[in-house]
Amino acid sequence: MSGSEKVLVALVGHPNCGKTALFNALTGLRQKVANYPGVTVERVESDLASDLGHPLRVLDLPGAYSLNPQSEDEKITHDVLLDGMGTDARPGVLIVVLDATNLRLHLPIALEVRELGYPICVALNMIDLAEAAGMQLNVKYLEEALGCRVIPTSATRKYGLGPLVEAAAKLASSEFDASKTQWTPSTREQIILRRKSVEDILRRTVVVPGHPSLFTTRVDRFLLHPFLGPLALLATVFLVFQAVFTLGAIPTDWIDGVISSFASWTRSQLSSGMLSDLLVDGIISGVGAVLVFLPQILILFASLLILEDSGYMARAAFLMDRIMGRVGLSGRSVLPLVSGFACAIPAIIGSRSIQSPAQRLATILITPVTTCSARLPVYTLLIAAFIPNTVVAGLFGLQGFVLTLLYILGAVSAFVFAGLLKAFGLTGAGGYFLLELPTYRLPSMRTVLRGLLDCARAFIVRAGTLILSIMVLLWAVSTFPRPPEGATQPSISYSLAGKLGNIVLPVLEPIGFNWQISVAMIPGFAAREVLVSALGTVYAVESENSDDGASLTEKIKTDWSLPTALSLLAWYVFAPQCLATFAVMQREIRSLRLTLLSFTVLLVVAWLAAFITYQVASKLL
């Protein structure tokens, strides 16, 4: 390790030790998410300013109870500490993060990690909560017993961060040869011995044990109550969705207004012609159609982050485990599947925390059916155009009712698929459920904010790159070649897109799709929400001469029948129209057979669902 090189400091600790909050407090809002070389595993790190000693980088490792990995995310921590997963990812210093309020559970990993020989120091985190509980700790003695610096910290109060960085920087200049690290999995005797030495250390470290917090016990008496618990869970889900659709609609309307005035301003500034069409029809309306959903996605994401950070998600997992277990999943599948309502990709990656390989596989395979936010633009467009907003049973608006129905259909299908996977023995047997229920805590605003910033950044980058390029490409293929002189049909039917649409039309005609839908469907495989922008482009290009100014909603309302719209909704519940999801699935499960099977089955099911919907609706309506 050369002198000027930045030394990598890794944070190690249990899933509930406040490690990520500490990382965020140390680094502010400028983290970098990268992949390990060779293995595509997320790695979160950031540069750290330190006045003393070495320049540092900080790495936030996935939470682990020990070095004996029980799940994919714990395996990452194990692999990084033992072989670095590629040379530059090998840490030079470890900070072991312990929850000061529960040292009995947290200290063993400090003892285990110490045996690896890394230069280490300990962050005695959440010291503010320990003190509030009246606990008094002899930090000097703990330092003696562990043979390293122990720094009391509080991520939420930004307490002890300076001394922690200072200690890490001092360790960074010490000589350490990581290649000499030796490790063998701990035997049960070693684990028990370690717990025994923890008891010895605690006898002299804990001067006053403090009173245990009754808050969590009291809240759990209500939230885990056999009758009130499930009601509270339902109410929580209901509130989250209300927030997404009512609160989220307000900024959505503003963004929509800004985008349409920007579009008409742009059109007024340019002489009508191809450039104006490309800018307005292709780029502004295409990217805009996607951007308007940002507020709703952010509200959903914020709710999930708050539920997770407060400790409630673990309770939801406990309450749901029985139902999940019936179809071969576990309570641990709840968090990934719920985050699938935002996006399937983080949901699939989040499944790494599921310990049982069979349950993890089942969770990943059913994730594409959960109603991700990219379906929302499509649902919203079709519902606004075709479902009258009448009041049903004096309570629900019909539009909201249909939307809820689509979400329920997605969730029920996920369960049915999981059951089928289990019945066909594709996901294997051997499931279990084991989960620590953490103490309830106020969610860290910094953690929530950072999560939201990352989400918004990813979303805007996606709209600005992937979706922008698709829209330009789609505009080009639906404009060229130009129609011949004296053409009678709309010019788009002479273009490449028109021809492509006509090729796939025979497959899609039985389910009621016209060629405009067929054309828009093709880029829709890159990203679901593109369908809305693509339909906008196709219809805008089609009606280029008769600039009637009608909105897309009005255009499809006059152009499509109700059965066609319903069939398209049914198609979108199942269709595997997000290739990125399947790329990530393949990366995580490493089985091309199952990934392709999942894709094909969903495609067939989508077609059948749309077919049945179209045929039944055509007969009835």
Helix (H) or strand (E) holding 59: strand 56-60
CA angle 247, 252, 255 (to 5 degrees): 145
Nearer to other proteins, 75 or 267 (CB): 75
Q: Would you count residue 322 as binding other proteins (CB under 8 A)?
A: yes
With 0-12 / 13-18 / 19 or more C-beta atoms within 10 angstroms meaning exposed / middle / buried, residue 592 is exposed
Q: Would you count residue 222 as binding other proteins (CB under 8 A)?
A: no
Binding-site member from 3, 38, 227, 619 for other proteins (CB under 8 A): 227
Report which of 162, 46, 193, 167 is spatially closest to residue 96, judged by C-alpha positions.
167
- Contact by Cβ (8 Å): 126, 99: yes
Tokens (6 digits) for 191: 């684990």
Rg of the chain taking only CA atoms, in angstroms = 28
Axis crossing angle, helix 294-310 with helix 445-462, rounded to the nearest 10: 150
Binding-site member from 230, 397, 483, 490 for other proteins (CB under 8 A): 230
Nearer to other proteins, 317 or 569 (CB): 317
| Segment interacting with other proteins, rule: CB under 8 A, options 209-217, 282-290, 390-398, 548-556 | 209-217
Nearer to other proteins, 293 or 318 (CB): 318
Binding-site member from 91, 92, 108, 152 for other proteins (CB under 8 A): 108
Nearer to other proteins, 190 or 260 (CB): 190
Q: Would you count residue 226 as binding other proteins (CB under 8 A)?
A: yes
Q: Would you count residue 596 as binding other proteins (CB under 8 A)?
A: no
Binding mask 76-105 for other proteins (x = CB under 8 A): --------------------------x-xx
Q: Would you count residue 204 as binding other proteins (CB under 8 A)?
A: no
Q: Would you count residue 220 as binding other proteins (CB under 8 A)?
A: yes
CA–CA separation, 231 and 236 (whole Å) = 9
From residue 414, how far is each of 114, 129, 333, 368, 424 by CA, in Å?
Answer: 44, 41, 12, 8, 15
- The runs of H, that is alpha helices, within 327-397 are 334-339, 344-350, 357-366, 375-386
Nearer to other proteins, 104 or 157 (CB): 104
Binding-site member from 356, 363, 370, 399 for other proteins (CB under 8 A): 356
CA–CA separation, 161 and 11 (whole Å) = 13
Binding mask 560-589 for other proteins (x = CB under 8 A): ------------------------------
Strand partners, 380: none
| Segment interacting with other proteins, rule: CB under 8 A, options 131-139, 184-192, 246-254, 518-526 | 184-192
Binding mask 507-546 for other proteins (x = CB under 8 A): ----------------------------------------
Tokens (6 digits) for 16: 């509930």
Minimum distance from residue 232 beta carbon to other proteins (Å): 11
Nearer to other proteins, 70 or 591 (CB): 70
Q: Would you count residue 66 as binding other proteins (CB under 8 A)?
A: yes
Q: Would you count residue 312 as binding other proteins (CB under 8 A)?
A: no
| Segment interacting with other proteins, rule: CB under 8 A, options 150-158, 236-244, 270-278, 429-437 | 429-437
State the number of binding residues for other proteins (CB under 8 A): 39
- The runs of H, that is alpha helices, within 467-561 are 468-479, 496-508, 515-524, 530-542, 552-559
Neighbour count for residue 185 (Cβ, 10 Å) = 10
Q: Would you count residue 314 as binding other proteins (CB under 8 A)?
A: yes
Q: Would you count residue 237 as binding other proteins (CB under 8 A)?
A: no
- The runs of H, that is alpha helices, within 133-246 are 139-146, 161-172, 188-205, 215-223, 228-242
Reply yes or no: is the peptide bond before residue 481 cis, omega within 30 of 0: yes
Phi-psi region of 55 (alpha: psi -120 to 50; beta: other; left: phi over 0): beta
Phi-psi region of 117 (alpha: psi -120 to 50; beta: other; left: phi over 0): left
Q: Would you count residue 353 as binding other proteins (CB under 8 A)?
A: no
- Report helix, strand or coil for 227: coil
Q: Would you count residue 331 as binding other proteins (CB under 8 A)?
A: yes
Q: Would you count residue 212 as binding other proteins (CB under 8 A)?
A: yes
Tokens (6 digits) for 141: 């003695």
Q: Would you count residue 319 as binding other proteins (CB under 8 A)?
A: yes
Nearer to other proteins, 227 or 424 (CB): 227
Nearer to other proteins, 70 or 586 (CB): 70
Minimum distance from residue 351 beta carbon to other proteins (Å): 17
Minimum distance from residue 205 beta carbon to other proteins (Å): 15
Neighbour count for residue 28 (Cβ, 10 Å) = 12
Phi-psi region of 28 (alpha: psi -120 to 50; beta: other; left: phi over 0): left
Please list, in sequence order, all residues whose beta carbon lies within 8 angstroms of the beta carbon of residue 127, skipping any fewer than 6 positions away.
Answer: 100, 152, 153, 154, 159, 160
Q: Would you count residue 284 as binding other proteins (CB under 8 A)?
A: no
Minimum distance from residue 72 beta carbon to other proteins (Å): 14
Q: Would you count residue 200 as binding other proteins (CB under 8 A)?
A: no
Q: Would you count residue 178 as binding other proteins (CB under 8 A)?
A: no
Q: Which residues bind other proteins (CB under 8 A)?
A: 65-66, 68, 70, 102, 104-105, 108, 186, 188, 191-192, 195, 212, 216-217, 220, 224, 226-227, 229-230, 314, 317-319, 321-322, 325, 331, 355-356, 430, 432-437
